[in-house]
Amino acid sequence: MKHRLTPPLAAFAMACALAYIGLPPAAQATPISTSTQPLTLDAAIALALRLNPTLRAAGHEVAAQQGALTQAGARPNPELELLREGTRGDSRTTTALLTIPLELGGKRAARIDVARQEGQLAALALNAEQARVRADVIAAFHEVVAALARERMAQELVHLAGRGLDAVGKRVDAGTLSPVEQTRARVAQGGARIEALQAARTLEAARIQLAALWAGDARGLVVVEPDAVTLPVLPPLDRLLAQLDAAPGMRQAGAQLKHRQALARLEQARRTPDVNVIVGAQREGPDARNRTVLGLSVPLPLFNRNDGAVLDALRRVDKAQDEQDAQAARLRAELGQAHARLATALAECALIATDILPGAQDAQRAASRGFELGKFSLIDVLDAQRVLAHSTYQYLNAVAESHRAQADIARLLGQAAVQENP
């Protein structure tokens, strides 16, 4: 099932932290840049699939394989040979020969098969790269969304710390609060500023990482933040493992094995010598008639039967088989790890949203109310605010980690998203 949770930033950080000084919530921070149209997740995926340099290079490789396939089906060219014997006109002999090579042993069909397998490898590499780019965009997009929330909360905490410092200063001037509390409030404000600087750097790094997926400029990047946090689903691990045979990595390993087998068949076909048919005409002297020349040229496989190349190709077939088994084990392990990360992240989100954040909110409200009544010191309010901020950061990190884990599962299985069970 899908969990839809309202963003905890405004509800928990702003309202609760402002309670202890009795001031209204400040206006929400404006986006970093509004120079370009805001980017949705689907638009970011489409942009990366269209402009990613690695994908464009893989597409050129697929197109190049069409030329390789055409060339593999080309037949060998005939050879024209002209011979002249003697220098005197009455005794000079002129011979014209046309040599037509005939490929035997199925070499041409084997070459075409190899070229087809190489084209399949290129197409599968392109599909795998598309799955990787799509997963990277999903993870990077949600990281930007989480970084925006962290940066917005950090700025709010700076604003709140400043207002709190002003409120404490007034109470110190009135003689109802110790100057030590004012020093503590000033230190808390400095710490909030440092955290805001760190959050801004983290946000800029996340935006650069996202824009780099289509070689774009991160300075004008604005993403569309969802109205509510939608957590990914957790499919059963057995159902994911059942889809592993159709994963891009397994398909590439299978295609690599077929390619090696095709190369082995080509090397075996090369053991059969080709035949050259020779057709020509010969003329002696200016008045002699032309004589037909017919011949046949066959290489004698006495010293080179291509045994070494055949053995090399067969051993590489064995290697490809072992690599296919190793790829299956590796993908199975990576899929299990990604599934475990997703399960842990979703459990963290549920625990924080249902138990930790409400408790931190209640503690913040109690500390704020007690401070107003003179029952608690400012340090109690700051501690409660710090716990609330830390809990919110934990929630945001867990949400981002759940989307990263889901993106890794989609990358391994070659899916746009992990679908919910029907």
SS (H, E, C) 313-382: HHHHHHHHHHHHHHHHHHHHHHHHHHHHHHHHHHHHHHHHHHHHHHHHHHHHHHHHHHHHCCCCCHHHHH
pLDDT bin (cut points 50, 70, 90) of residue 286 is low
Q: Are 282 and 335 in contact (CB under 8 A)?
A: no
What is the model's pLDDT at position 92? 81
pLDDT bin (cut points 50, 70, 90) of residue 181 is confident
Query: Chain-centre distance of CA 321, in angstroms?
Result: 26
Percent of the chain with pLDDT over 90: 51
Instruction: Quote the CA–CA distance of 391 and 110 in Å, as a whole number.
Output: 64
Answer yes or no: is pLDDT of 16 > 60: no
Domains within the chain, CATH numbers bracketed:
4-76+125-271+332-413 (1.20.1600.10)
Instruction: Quote the CA–CA distance of 229 and 399 in Å, as a whole number.
Output: 8
pLDDT bin (cut points 50, 70, 90) of residue 290 is confident
> What SS3 state is found at 58?
helix
* 78-92, 98-112, 283-297: range with highest mean pLDDT: 98-112
Instruction: Quote the CA–CA distance of 188 and 377 in Å, as a whole number.
Output: 14
- Mean pLDDT computed over 143-160: 86
**Cα angle, residue 174 at apex, residues 192 and 21 outer, rounded to 5°:** 40
Answer yes or no: is pLDDT of 30 > 80: no
Q: What's the whole-model pTM score? A: 0.78
Instruction: Quote the CA–CA distance of 397 and 73 in Å, as a whole number.
Output: 56
Which residue bears the tokens 């035949």?
275
What is the model's pLDDT at position 384? 81
> What SS3 state is found at 420?
coil
pLDDT in tens, 189-238: 888 899 889 989 999 999 999 999 998 888 888 888 877 778 889 999 99
Cross-strand partners of 277: 100, 296
Instruction: Quote the CA–CA distance of 287 and 12 in Å, as a whole number.
Output: 112
Helix axes 307-351, 248-269, angle to 10 degrees: 180
Cross-strand partners of 80: 98
Q: What is the mean pLDDT of the chain?
A: 83
What is the model's pLDDT at position 36? 57
What is the model's pLDDT at position 287? 66
Q: Are 310 and 271 in contact (CB under 8 A)?
A: yes
Please give the full DSSP string across 126-187, using - where no structure is assigned. HHHHHHHHHHHHHHHHHHHHHHHHHHHHHHHHHHHHHHHHHHHHHHHHTTSS-HHHHHHHHH
Nearest to 94 by CA among 280, 296, 297, 276: 280
Q: Are 188 and 46 in contact (CB under 8 A)?
A: no
Pick the range with the lowest mean pLDDT from 87-91, 239-243, 254-258: 87-91
Helix (H) or strand (E) holding 237: helix 237-242
- Mean pLDDT computed over 270-292: 85
Q: Are 15 and 388 in contact (CB under 8 A)?
A: no
Which residues, 6 or more positions from 279, have their beta carbon under 8 angstroms from its beta carbon? 97, 98, 100, 293, 294, 295
